[in-house]
Chain A
Amino acid sequence: MNRLPTLFAGFFLTFAFAWLGLVIIPYIQLEKLGPHESDDGTMLPLPPSGIAQQGAAIYGREGCIYCHSQQVRPANRGSDIARGWGTRATVARDYIYDRTVYLGTMRTGPDLANIGARQDSPEWHHKHLYSPETMSPGSIMPAYTYLYRVQKIGRFPSPDAIEFYKTDTKVAIPEGYEIVPTEEAKQLVAYLISLKKASYPLPEAPSE
């Protein structure tokens, strides 16, 4: 096989074969996938709010995907459902509104596809992002202190300041100071709470 055209025809055919099969055909199959109208007329999945979409960008920027997946596998393909990470497996339709799909490949931390359904308190998320060890002893998650401001308390405390209990020795706040989330922290938390990918039934994925 010493003739270049023969070689290149081989390179082209083998590669184009897989390109069509794993890129183009899936594209045609999935590009028009739309929301599903449930019996009560709700369109599922729910479209995300603007602030949650901004938070998704923060999630991407900080590289959360390197420790947290966002996919629930079927009950026969792992313990995801048994661990309470979702009531059903996630399917392609759950991701149609994601600008970037954060499926992830690693579970150094738990799966987050359905975190908004498990933990919907913004206060908990803020405390956890500021000091993971306080909220979840033993955690090796990095603290995102740079998404928060430590500022002197003015005439009144800020309404959205995060209050740690006095017993939380992990966080040292100087007397007369308060911890206030930045816009970015609020966006990120709004995004986390919006993650409810495996909490509503779809025809192709009924709750198990």
Chain B
Amino acid sequence: MNGTNGVNPATGQPPGTQDGLSGDLGLVNARRLIGGPAEVTFSMAPGDRALVAAGETVVAGAPIVERIRDAELSDQIVPASADPKPGGRVHEGELLFEWRERWRVAGGEVTESLDSPVTGIVRDVRPGSAIVIQASGRTLHGIVVLGGPTRGRLHVAAGSDGELRSGGLDVGLAGTILVVGSRIDAETLTRARAMGVRGIVVGGLASKERRDFTASERRQRAALHRLAPYAVLVLEGATRRPLPSPVMDVLHALEGREVAVVGDPPMLVFDADVDVPEPRSDWVRVRGGPLGGREGTWAGIAGPRRFAGGVHLESGSVRFEDGTITTVPLGDLERFV
């Protein structure tokens, strides 16, 4: 803590404690490292058929939705004795609405099933909209998921600041979800899918790589054959930065275990019985700025300071692992809870 005689010069107060923390550490943005059981939403479109009902228990790998690949609209006469209503089903597909004594129906011939990547309880089934499953286990939240959902064995392929290149992939990684460090390019993402990799966990994904991968994904989906599940979970953002060490600790603890990647909300789901290390309460990480990616311990609030560009920002002091203490804008810091 800054100051003398235990008094922080910025606050004029003794360094009180809250939740076992230095009091002013609460000013640093808190990032939840591990979440509890979460509700996962799987979207449905008109014509898709739910294979589960609310209240049912599903296990990972069980089919939950039969999706129409290219839904088409048709007009059908449905007898009143069939008690037709919007969202109901007939042989030709899903009833949308009645128009001029006929029913508009969404249907199609080619279907593919969506398997649940998580074990849990079905909370809600809304034909044409979504299925919501309360997933058992715990979660590690990310920023966005491209593709998916998917499930596989977690394998840490690169360190927190590493980068996986396409040459580093081989068929031995089929069925795994790879942790690839701070960044990855679209070519490696595409090659990983071709190798049978089920998913990628990465720190940052640049917009260009995201665009290229999404275009590739769209082309693949346009093909008639069914694709294996594949998802890219982005944990940090759009620029390259090392994965935080508390996050890497969790991922190392999950190595070799079955995990799921889901998109809504974007997160990694894993079994509750995994013993994951808890982060130090005073551990902070510099999220952005010239010191982005560095980590250390909180050394107290430093008050408003002038930074590059002539801007004045509230700041805090951080003691880095090499022993140096540096003042960093509070907005650049995050802590893990």
Task: State whether these chains interact.
Answer: no
Q: Which residues of A contact B (CB under 8 A)?
A: none
